[in-house]
């Protein structure tokens, strides 16, 4: 395995995403006596390697490029390095969390590090298929093939040709500061929680607080609006808010930056990836891990529920188009797409407690439904 040390490092371009200015990560990194592959998993004000790894031996940080080792003093986000320690060492790295990398790699071997959270090798987004199978390696006294890439560590990866990979985010934050967990399903990355934002992305408020009759009349002005089921704010904590389609379609945007409302085609791609409409619903519905189809949110029988996609669909119910009343929370989940059907309707997806399928249908734009966002 030592042959890898003779392969040039060709990490060329890196862009990264800070979670927010307020998100601080504390990451414990274990290194052993001798040589280790390390990386920088947080944004710090002092990136000198002995500030980040104070127990390391002076003058032993090396990058690798064009077949030559170069002594370094500073750590660069996303790159990997050799660093030597005189004894087993545990360091706590404190800095602003980094939630995602986009890395441009060149043909051949590359040395990388990851973000502020562990990343499964299988979760690396390699849309162009540039990574050679079985060529991701870590080092711990010898080379090994990792299942999970750990923050603070460095890793070799070999590529067929030039291209980009994405070290995926696990959370995304909306303009209100709400943080959502995310999940990769096939080549898509989805929120695994319902949207609960109250402002458009330009900072203006999304209208709310309408009576039943006022809600039913919003189509006259095509006014975007949201509501909380039964006008009980505690329901938003679990099920998010219910948005009419005019809010969904507003050019100011309701999804976080670099995310959008899924199109009808993107929902179809999701269900196709999960085996088709007849079974995809069950694979998208929330259930208790280890006890599916049991659920704290869906009633029995919660037919077909496995949540193997990780989508974690919830039965948020709806606000009715005609008279503004609320219904079906706890038994149905309705999710808007961004795709219009007719002047008065748009495409939607429905999850049902008593069926394993996902239903594609169109509904009047005045309805209040749940919203999931998908990454651009």
Non-local (6+) Cβ contacts of 319 within 8 A are: 215, 227, 229, 242, 244, 325, 326, 367, 368
Q: Measured between alpha carbons, how far is 149 from 215 in angstroms, rounded to an integer?
A: 49
Largest CA distance in the chain: 73
Non-local (6+) Cβ contacts of 346 within 8 A are: 245, 248, 249, 336, 337, 338, 339, 340, 362, 363, 365
Distance of CA 365 to the CA centre of its chain: 28
pLDDT for 64-122, tens place per residue? 776 778 899 999 988 999 999 999 999 999 998 887 778 888 888 989 999 888 887 87
Q: Measured between alpha carbons, how far is 326 from 317 in angstroms, rounded to an integer?
A: 7
pLDDT of residue 63: 85
Tokens of 353: 């407690």
Domain boundaries, the chain: 2-167, 171-375
pLDDT for 247-276, tens place per residue? 999 999 999 988 999 999 999 999 999 999
Of 61, 2, 70, whose CA–CA distance to 37 is shortest?
61
Q: Measured between alpha carbons, how far is 276 from 167 in angstroms, rounded to an integer?
A: 28
Phi, psi for 272 (deg, rounded to 5): -65, -45
pLDDT of residue 274: 96
pLDDT of residue 264: 97
Q: Which residues of the chain have pLDDT under 70?
A: 1-23, 66
pTM, full prediction: 0.64
Tokens of 177: 């500061």
pLDDT of residue 68: 79
pLDDT of residue 21: 44
pLDDT of residue 66: 66
Please, is 165 exposed, middle or buried when counting C-beta atoms within 10 Å of its C-beta (0-12, 13-18, 19+)?
buried
């Amino acid at each position: 395995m030592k042959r890898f040390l003779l392969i040039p490092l060709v990490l060329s371009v890196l862009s990264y995403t800070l979670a927010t200015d307020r998100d601080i990560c504390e990451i414990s990194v274990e290194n052993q006596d001798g040589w280790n592959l390390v990386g920088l998993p947080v944004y710090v004000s002092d990136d000198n390697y002995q500030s980040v790894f104070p127990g390391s031996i002076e003058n032993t940080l090396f990058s690798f490029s064009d077949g030559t080792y170069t002594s370094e003093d500073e750590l660069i986000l996303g790159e990997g390095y050799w660093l030597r320690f005189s004894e087993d060492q545990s360091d706590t790295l404190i800095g602003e969390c980094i939630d995602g990398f986009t890395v441009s790699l060149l043909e051949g071997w590359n040395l990388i590090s990851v973000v502020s959270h562990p990343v499964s090798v299988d979760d690396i987004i390699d849309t162009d298929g540039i990574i050679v199978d079985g060529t991701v390696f870590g080092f711990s006294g010898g080379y090994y093939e990792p299942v999970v890439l750990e923050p603070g560590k460095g890793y070799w990866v070999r590529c067929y040709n030039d291209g980009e990979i994405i070290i995926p985010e696990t959370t995304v934050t909306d303009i209100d500061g709400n943080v959502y967990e995310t999940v990769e399903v096939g080549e898509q990355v989805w929120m695994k929680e319902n949207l609960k934002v109250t402002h458009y992305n330009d900072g203006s408020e999304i209208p709310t607080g309408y009576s039943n009759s006022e809600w039913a009349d919003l189509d006259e002005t095509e006014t975007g609006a949201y509501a909380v089921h039964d006008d009980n704010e505690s329901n938003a904590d679990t099920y998010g808010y219910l948005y009419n389609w005019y809010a969904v379609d507003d050019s100011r945007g309701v999804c976080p930056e670099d995310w959008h409302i899924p199109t009808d085609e993107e929902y179809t791609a999701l269900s196709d990836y999960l085996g088709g409409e007849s079974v995809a619903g069950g694979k998208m519905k929330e259930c208790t891990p280890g006890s599916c189809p049991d659920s704290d949110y869906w009633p029995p029988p919660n037919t077909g529920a496995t949540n193997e996609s990780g989508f974690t669909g919830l039965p948020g119910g709806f606000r009715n188009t005609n008279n503004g009343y609320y219904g079906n929370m706890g038994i149905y989940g309705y999710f808007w797409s961004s795709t219009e059907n007719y002047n008065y309707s748009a495409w939607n997806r429905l999850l049902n407690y008593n069926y394993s399928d996902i239903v594609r249908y169109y509904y009047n734009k005045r309805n209040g439904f749940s919203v999931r966002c998908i990454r651009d």
